[in-house]
Structure 1
Amino acid sequence: MDRHTIKSSERVDNIDIYFEYDKMDDSLPTLVLLHGFLSSSFSFRKLVPYLIKEFNVISLDLPPFGQSGKDYRYTYSFRNIAKSVVHFLAGKNINKFSIIGHSMGGQVSLQLIKHHPDLVEHAILLAGSGYQPSYSEKMKLVSYLPFFSFGIKRYLQRSGIEKNLKNVVHDPALIDDEMRQGYLGPFTKKHDIFRALGRMLRDKEVDLLKDDLHDIQTPCLLIWGRHDRVVPLSIGQRLHDDLPNSELVVIEDSGHLLPEERPTEIYQLIKGFLKTAPPTYSRVNG
């Protein structure tokens, strides 16, 4: 299917948010896609062509990643990022949607659902991260030092794109030049993402705890790769236990980067879930 994709950015809450939008059909349900840490909407490029067959699809670059803003003055807590996503969508008159969050995008998704439960009909967490504390006060103080952003840059340079990609996929044969450039590209441009990452470290709040998750009634589909080395399956199992209306599906022979590794299977799971799970329902955990 040919894609007619709108690609642009808009100023929201004093930060530029880049977005890609496929279809604008009021008769179709809308899916909002949120990517993971050090990633961008690029990570959904293999999944979106399937989703646009039946949905409006809008993917965002969460600040300070991808082509979105990296303003040092913005508050990069997950709750504030979620609030900016809500304000962005409201500006597009999108007031009901389902959300797909990969990795860190899952943390932002849970914050959004917690504080704006009336907006989200369904949530799909693809290896969604969770249960992380905030950083220590000592680390936060160190992040103010002038060399800290340089240290982040040096650390990422030493780890290298190849090593990082091999850590997030189960089959390294999937790694090609398009993938390398897609994930590395935003970090080679002339902007101060590393300074923004230091600010993000300071702004990071404690993830939602068990009592918070118990209050979430939104139907949630949790999809995990059996061999995820970044956000292990144990996190998915905990989320399944703590989210009352959740279903956990484990995909064999897969790692952390599920939208890249298994887009066809992920699409079928999402499609089935959205068609069978009403916006409010009670599911027995199993």
Structure 2
Amino acid sequence: MSAHPPTRPLVAAPAPAVHRHLDVDGVRVFYRESLPERPDAPVLLLLHGFPSASHQFRRLIDTLGSRYRLIAPDYPGFGHTEAPAGFTYSFDRLADVMEGFVQGLGLDRFTLYVFDFGAPVGFRLATRHPEWIAGLVVQNGNAYEEGLSDAARDFIALRPEQEGARETVRALFTLSGTRFQYESGTRDPERIAPDGWILDQYFLDQPGRKDAQEALAFDYHTNVEQYGRWQEWLRTHTPPVLIVWGSDDPFFPEPGAHAYLKDVPEAALHTFPTGHFALEEDLPGIAPLIADFLDSLSGLPDLNGA
């Protein structure tokens, strides 16, 4: 055995993680949780978007999960979570289940990562329990009308009684619609692994899932109606905020990122020339920003020892 040190750096191993379920009022919530080296590691609650689930955070969990406790649940109607027959799909109900999930895990203080649908779910949690929120990471999660593209506004305005509205909504639940959400706005579509949209489509095609997603699509207007309340929460509680945003998102364009600065002007804002699922193409740039942000909140030394 050589006494000399290795001539190349060791490769960092992915963080260990567990995959569990937690019962919340009859909903069997699936979640992923990293196993950090420190038992008191800072907690980051990852709230996914449409049409995805907690699997969208697998690479982030691999990258940061040894240093921080990353927890990523699937909402009812998404991923591996199982909801009972008759469950009412609305953003209020998704937030109810996530509120019960947080309480079931015994979390009382954490940083919240909100992306896409995670923003309306997460802001509901924040306004119900401001004492929970140590910090906020926003990644293409909208809380301002400036962040709605014309296409998004038209979609949100649809109502089920309108002629052709259901067909318009259901067109988004096809494989081509799902793939478009991953690839649109990216610099290089070849860097976007197909696994994400294929797995998303698998779950969308499960019995009852398209009905659930249709109900949420027609409920989305309730989120826009609460933007003022969420903005007031930001102004009143002034949480530390990190904004990382795919600037070529066709649904939530870059003005939605800058709008946060009206209410939390000290927020750190970083844009990336990519699409809606910014982590797919820009994880190497985004992950260190999240790590630095979590370290600044917890008092840990940064990863570079500075």
Tell me which interval the TM-score lies in, with the shorter structure as reference length.
0.7 to 0.9
- Indicate which of 33, 40, 49 corresponds to 2:53: 40
1:249 is the counterpart of 2:270: yes
Q: Deviations over 1:206-229 (max 9, x none)?
A: 333345413322221111123222
Give the letter aligned to residue 74 of structure 1: F
Match in the other structure for 2:231: 213
The worse-fitting range, judged by mean Cα deviation, of 261-270 and 214-223 is: 214-223
Among candidates 252, 264, 275, match of residue 284 of structure 2: 264
How big is the shift at 1:151?
A: 7.0
The 1:244/1:211 distance shift into structure 2, 3 A limit, reads farther
The whole-number CA distance in structure 2 between the counterparts of 1:110 and 1:81 is: 12
Larger Rg: 2
Unaligned stretches of 5+ residues in structure 2 = 1-12, 146-152, 300-306
Are positions 1:7 and 2:19 aligned together? Answer: yes
Are the structure 2 counterparts of residues 168 and 67 from structure 1 closer, same or farther at C-alpha, using a change threshold of 3 Å?
farther
Q: By how many angstroms is 1:199 displaced? A: 2.4
Alignment of 1:52-91 (within 5 A): 52-71=65-84, 73-91=86-104
Give a deviation string over 1:232-274, Cα, whole Å, max 9, x none.
00111112223355332222x3222112111122111111122
1:46 positional shift? 1.6
Residue 239 (structure 1) aligns with: 260
TM-score by length of 1: 0.82
CA RMSD, aligned part only?
3.0
Alpha-carbon offset, residue 278 of structure 1: 6.9
Report if the CA contact (8 A) 1:75-1:200 is conserved: no
Write the mapping of 1:1-286 to structure 2, written as runs, cut at 5 A: 1-23=13-35, 26-71=39-84, 73-131=86-144, 139-141=159-161, 148=166, 152-153=169-170, 155-157=172-174, 159-167=176-184, 169-189=186-206, 191-204=207-220, 205-207=222-224, 208-210=226-228, 212-216=230-234, 217=237, 218-243=239-264, 246-251=267-272, 253-277=273-297
TM-fit CA distance, 1:39: 0.8
**Compared CA separation, residues 179 and 200, structure 1 to 2 (3 A):** closer
Distance in 2 (CA, whole Å) between partners of 1:15 and 1:88 is 10
C-alpha separation in 1, matches of 2:230 and 2:114: 18
Residue 92 of structure 1 aligns with an amino acid whose one-letter code is L
> Retained in 1: the 8 A contact 2:42–2:110?
yes
Give the partner amino acid of 2:205. Answer: T
Give the letter aligned to residue 178 of structure 1: D
Aligned 8 A contact 1:222 1:246 in 2: yes
Q: Quick one: distance in 2 between partners of 1:231 and 1:274?
A: 25
The share of aligned pairs that are identical, in percent, is 22
Query: Are the equivalent residues in 2 in contact too, given 1:102–1:125 (CA < 8 A)?
Result: yes
Cα deviation per residue 1:138-177 (whole Å; 9 max; x = unaligned)? 714469x9x95x8754553274444333226332112334
Evaluate the alpha carbon distance shift between residue 84 and residue 277 of structure 1 in structure 2; reply closer, same or farther with a 3 A threshold: same
Please give the per-residue CA displacement for 1:96-116, whole angstroms capped at 9, x wherever unaligned. Answer: 111111222122222211221
Distance in 2, matches of 1:157 and 1:34, equals 23
Matched to 2:263, the amino acid is D
User: Aligned pair in 2 of structure 1 residues 76, 209: CA closer, same or farther (>3 Å)?
Assistant: same
Determine helix, strand or coil for the equivalent of 2:73: strand
**TM-score of the two chains, using structure 2 as the length reference:** 0.77
